C-alpha cells in the first residue's frame, strides 16, 4: 500500500547524449551477433549500464590489455582515442569499431590542423580524462592542458595562443577564461568546440530543479559531467540528493504528497531513472 503518495516526474532532457546512444547501439548490435566484444575503457561512466552490457558479453579492457590483444574487434567509445591506439590496432590486426562522438572527432581534426600549423595550443579540460588524452595525442602530447587558469603562469605564456576546450566543459567558464587571458595582454584564437547538448543542460536543469520539492539526481560516481550537473541542481534546489542506484534511495528524504523530480547526467541510462521512479511510486 502506497503511504507517501509521491508525485514523480523524470526530466525528459536527461539521459544519454547522442554520442553515448550511438556507442551503446553499436556495441549491442555486435554483442547480439557474436556474443562478445572488447571495449577500450568504460563505454560510459555509469557502473550500472556497464554491468548490464557486461552481462551481454562486453569486456572492458585497458590500454595495457590492448597491447596484448590480437585478431579481435575492439570498440572505441564516444570519448575518442589518440593516434597511438589506431597504430596499436594496425600492428595487432585488431578491427576497431569506432564509436567516437562526431563532436569529438571534429575537435580532434581541428586540433591536429592547428598543430600542423605550429600553433601554441592550450586545452581547457580535465587532466587524464579519456577525451583529453585523445586530444593531446593529436599534438604529439605537446599541447598544454589546464583545468584552472591558476595552473598557468600568465607572464610566461606566448603572446599568441590557440585555445580549445574539452567538449563537455561549461561554455560560460570557457569564455571567462578567454576574457582573463586577453585582459592579461595575450592574443587568443578561441575555438568554442563545446557540445551544446551538454552545455545547455545547465539552464534546462535549473528550470527542472525549481519545479519540485525534492530532486533525485542519478549518476555514476565516475562521471565528471554528473558531478557538475548535480551541483547545478543542488544550487537551485537544496533538497537535491545524489544516487548511483536504486538501493541508495533513503525514504527519510521524503514527506507524504511531495513532488519529486528525477534527473541525471549525459551518462545516465533512462532505464535506471525509470527504476528509481518505479521504486518511489511504491512507497
Cα–Cα distance list, 147 to 11, 122, 154, 168, 184 (Å): 29, 11, 14, 12, 18
Answer yes or no: 131 catalytic. Answer: yes
**DSSP assignments along 90-128, one per residue:** HHTT-EEEE---HHHHHHHHHHHHHHHTT--EEEES-TT
Cell of 118: 605550429
**Cα separation of 252 and 240, whole Å?**
13
> Which is catalytic among the residues 87, 131, 142, 156?
131
In the chain, which ranges are continuous DSSP H helix?
18-34, 47-55, 63-68, 83-91, 102-116, 130-137, 171-183, 196-199, 201-209, 224-236, 270-281
The dihedral of CA 272, 275, 281, 283: what is its sign? negative
Which helix H or strand E contains 263, and what residues bound it? Answer: strand 259-264
Torsion of CA 108, 203, 48, 60, to 10 degrees: 10
Exposure on the CB side of residue 138, measured as CA atoms within 13 A:
27
Closest of 48, 13, 1 to residue 282, by C-alpha: 1
Residues in the chain: 283
The residues that are catalytic are 131
Amino acid at each position: 500500500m502506497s503511504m507517501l503518495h509521491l508525485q514523480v516526474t523524470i526530466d525528459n532532457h536527461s539521459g544519454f547524449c547522442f554520442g553515448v546512444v550511438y556507442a551503446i547501439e553499436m556495441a549491442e548490435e555486435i554483442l547480439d551477433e557474436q556474443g562478445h566484444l572488447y571495449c577500450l575503457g568504460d563505454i560510459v561512466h555509469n557502473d550500472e549500464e556497464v554491468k548490464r552490457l557486461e552481462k551481454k558479453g562486453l569486456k572492458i579492457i585497458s590500454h595495457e590489455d590492448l597491447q596484448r590483444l590480437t585478431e579481435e574487434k575492439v570498440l572505441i567509445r564516444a570519448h575518442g582515442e589518440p593516434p597511438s591506439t589506431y597504430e596499436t590496432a594496425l600492428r595487432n590486426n585488431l578491427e576497431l569499431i569506432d564509436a567516437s562522438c562526431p563532436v569529438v572527432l571534429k575537435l580532434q581534426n581541428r586540433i591536429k590542423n592547428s598543430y600542423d600549423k605550429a600553433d601554441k595550443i592550450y586545452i581547457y579540460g580535465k587532466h587524464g580524462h579519456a577525451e583529453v588524452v585523445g586530444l593531446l595525442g593529436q599534438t604529439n602530447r605537446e599541447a598544454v592542458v589546464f583545468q584552472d587558469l591558476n595552473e598557468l603562469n600568465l607572464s610566461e605564456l606566448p603572446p599568441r595562443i590557440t585555445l580549445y576546450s574539452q567538449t563537455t566543459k561549461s561554455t560560460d567558464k570557457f569564455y571567462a577564461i578567454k576574457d582573463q587571458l586577453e585582459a592579461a595582454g595575450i592574443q587568443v584564437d578561441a575555438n568554442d568546440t563545446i557540445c551544446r547538448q551538454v552545455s545547455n543542460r545547465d539552464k534546462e536543469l535549473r528550470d527542472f530543479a525549481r519545479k519540485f520539492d525534492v530532486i533525485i539526481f542519478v549518476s555514476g560516481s565516475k562521471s565528471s559531467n554528473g558531478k557538475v550537473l548535480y551541483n547545478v541542481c543542488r544550487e537551485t534546489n537544496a533538497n537535491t540528493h545524489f544516487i548511483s542506484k536504486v538501493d541508495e534511495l533513503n525514504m527519510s528524504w521524503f514527506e507524504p504528497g511531495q513532488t519529486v523530480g528525477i534527473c541525471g547526467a549525459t551518462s545516465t541510462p533512462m532505464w535506471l531513472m525509470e527504476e528509481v521512479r518505479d521504486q518511489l511510486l511504491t512507497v
